[in-house]
Structure 1
Amino acid sequence: MSTPITDPAQLPPAFEKAMNSGNVDEVMSLLAPGAVMRTVTGETVTGQVLRDYTAGTIADNGRLSNGPSRVLAGADIALISEEWTLEVTTPDGNRKKATGTTANVARRGQDGTWRMAILNPLGIA
């Protein structure tokens, strides 16, 4: 993480920027230890599988666009929701677009830095 995230509202734009830069290490630095993600296909991934999934999205020329974020924070936890669009290149060379509304959970670490702990791009669906 190039700049520590001191406000959970900073996470969505930082995540978008890291994904679109193609830097998997930067994306992973925004995640809390043990972070978990439910993929758009409904699979739950964590650890190395989450890293590989992220690297695959980047390799598919993924382009993420986030809409305005809504953040509800209390103590050391925050609920973050925003509309998103992700375009990737399919194996046949075509661009495919997916959209949704997230229901993500961020956690503030002992160092005061906020990181994503639960990524749920499908929101409540």
Structure 2
Amino acid sequence: MSTPITDLAQLPPAFEKAMNSGKLDEVLSLLAPGAVMRTVTGGTVTGQALRDYAAGSIAGNAQLSNGPSRVVAGDDIAFVTEDWTLEITTPDGNRNKATGTSTNVARRVEDGGWRYAILNPLGTA
């Protein structure tokens, strides 16, 4: 990502586009330093483990589709929810489809742009 995302509404579509185009560095550029993600199996990943998890999704030709986002924002922090669908090829070659509602936290970082600090695709589940 070369230009900071200053319009919070553009963060979810930017994440979707980066994931679907298979651009790991773009996906990671949308994450705040120290970001954490709750995986679809309920564990959490951060740092190198988060990078590896995203790389695995890309290797599985992940295709993400986000529904409309709902945002509650303060000065430098925001709560972002959205419905999503993800299709991915598993290591055994099967194509799987999952859906859910994410509950994510974004924060404004030093460059003035918004990035995800917490990704929780399982929502309240």
Q: What interval of TM-score do these two structures reach, taking the shorter chain for normalisation?
A: over 0.9
Please state whether the residue corresponding to 1:70 is helix, strand or coil. Answer: strand
Query: Is the CA contact (8 Å cut-off) linking 2:4 and 2:111 kept in structure 1?
Result: no
Name the structure 1 match of 2:2.
2
Count residues with an aligned counterpart. Answer: 125
Tell me how large the CA RMSD over aligned residues is: 0.8
CA distance in 1, matches of 2:24, 2:75: 29
2:11 counterpart of 1:11:
yes
* Superimposed CA distance per residue, residues 26-57 of structure 1 (whole angstroms, 9 cap, x where no aligned partner): 00000000000000000100000000000000
Q: Percent identity?
A: 79
- TM-score scaled by length of structure 2: 0.97
Consecutive unaligned residues of structure 1, counting only runs of 5 or more, are: none
Greater Cα offset, 105-114 or 33-42: 105-114
Q: Secondary structure at the match of 1:61?
A: coil
What is the 5 A alignment of 1:18-33? Answer: 18-33=18-33
1:41-98 CA-partner distances (Å, limit 9, x unpaired): 0010000000000000000111000000001101100000000011011223221001
Task: State the alpha-carbon separation in 2 of the partners of residues 93 and 44 from structure 1.
Answer: 25
Alignment TM-score, normalising by the size of structure 1: 0.97
